[in-house]
Each structure stands twice: as C-alpha cells, then as structure tokens.
Structure 1
Amino acid sequence: MYCCKAKLRLPLKSILEDYKCGKARLLSMLEDSEDPVVKPVQPTIKTGRKWKVFEAVDEAKECFKIKEVIGLTQTERKGLGSSTAKWWSKAEGKEKRDMVINEMRLTEDSRRIQKAVQKSQQG
C-alpha cells in the first residue's frame, strides 16, 4: 500500500516511515548544527528498543560512501552519461540531510517490498 516504486500505488504515506525520517532529520540537524553550544553535546534521541536512529543514519551514510566508491552506474535505458548523481563528499548541510532521509525512505520501501514478496498469496 505504501510502496513508492509500484505501478499501482495508493496516495498514502506510512506513519512509521515518517516517524523514522523525522527522528533521523532531528539527529542530523543536531549533529550538523553551527551553534557552538549545540555542536559538542551528543544528542540522546529516544526511539524505542527495536529501531535505533543512530544505527539507521550511520547505515544510510555508509551506503552513500559505498555508492561513491562504486560510482555512477547505468540502470535504465537512458544513454551513457545522461544520469547525474549527488555525491556525499560534495554535499553540505541540508543536502546531506535530504540525502540521508531519501536513502532511509528507499530502505523502508525495499523492506516493504521484501515483506510483500515473502507472502505466498500476495507475492
């Protein structure tokens, strides 16, 4: 129902996905703050026991670093060189925050697709 890549998708958003992205946005804003009082303080963000915001944000950052090492690959029928990508090392501030949020949304979307495929009647 909440899939972003499916052909028949409903105009609904997952509350869990928005919650996770909000927590990740808050963590990124606190970590990248320009304020000298906020920057040295390590933020404690309560998320529960099943999902940790620090691990999710670190996973998204590592994914971007790996994508940068791999480089730009051709995935669709477009010609070579027609795709552009934002690189993690060249992004700053809000761009990095948006990149992390988008990566978390894609991760949640792929988890939902995996869960749907595992269901024998729906898959």
Structure 2
Amino acid sequence: MNADIFKDQLPNSDRAEQYQWVDGNKETNALIAIAAEFIAEELTVAWFRIRLVCHRECDNEGKNMFSASLTYMATEQDDYHTWCGLDCLNAMRCITEVLKGKNWNEAVLFITQHKGISFYWRSPVA
C-alpha cells in the first residue's frame, strides 16, 4: 500500500509530513491487524473507512495519559462521522505495544473496507 495515500486525512494535515508510516515486521503487523479487528467488528453500520486517532501525553512525573477518537466514512465520498467503540482500549493497547520505546504523541490507524490497513505515528513537535 502506498504510504502517502492517507496524508490528506491525517489529523492536522498541514503537518502531515511529520508523520511516519509504519511498515513493520511480522509481529508489528499482527498487532496492528488485531487493533483494526477490535475496531472494525464493533461498527454495526455500513462503512468504507474507519480512522482511530490515539494521543499520548506524558506528565511531569513521567506518567502517560492516553486518549482516542474514532471516526468512520460510510462511503468514499463521505465526511468522517464520530462514533464510540467499546473495544477502543484493546486497540490502543495493541498500538502502544507497537510504539513501545518510541517517543510518540499521536498515532493514526486507517482501516479501509476491502483495501487494508495503514498506520502512522508522529513524535511530539519540538
């Protein structure tokens, strides 16, 4: 899959060049696929693409705080619609494992019906 295919759909797309595309190993790809499965199985309406955006903040004591947002497109021409997935925490656990040891503050998982999965992440902006 082309790494730049979703650059215009990344959050803060004006800073899309700061994202790194994950082209991982077998274990990393398996974790990303599991995260996608957790999310995709929950959406009960017809969809074309799902986007999970995970945020990580580190406080002064070194504790991590995580948050996420889920959106989907019903068709390729549609805008993103917000929804709440109950299994988002399991997907986030997979993503944090993939990014273990990396200095990241945002990760984006795209799941596109019949086309596959793409995963991007970026470091905090200095």
Same fold (TM over 0.5): no
Larger Rg computed on CA atoms: 1
Which structure's residues are more often strand, by fraction?
Answer: 2
Q: Give me the TM-score of the superposition, normalised by structure 2.
A: 0.31
Q: Give me the TM-score of the superposition, normalised by structure 1.
A: 0.31
Which structure's residues are more often helix, by fraction?
Answer: 1
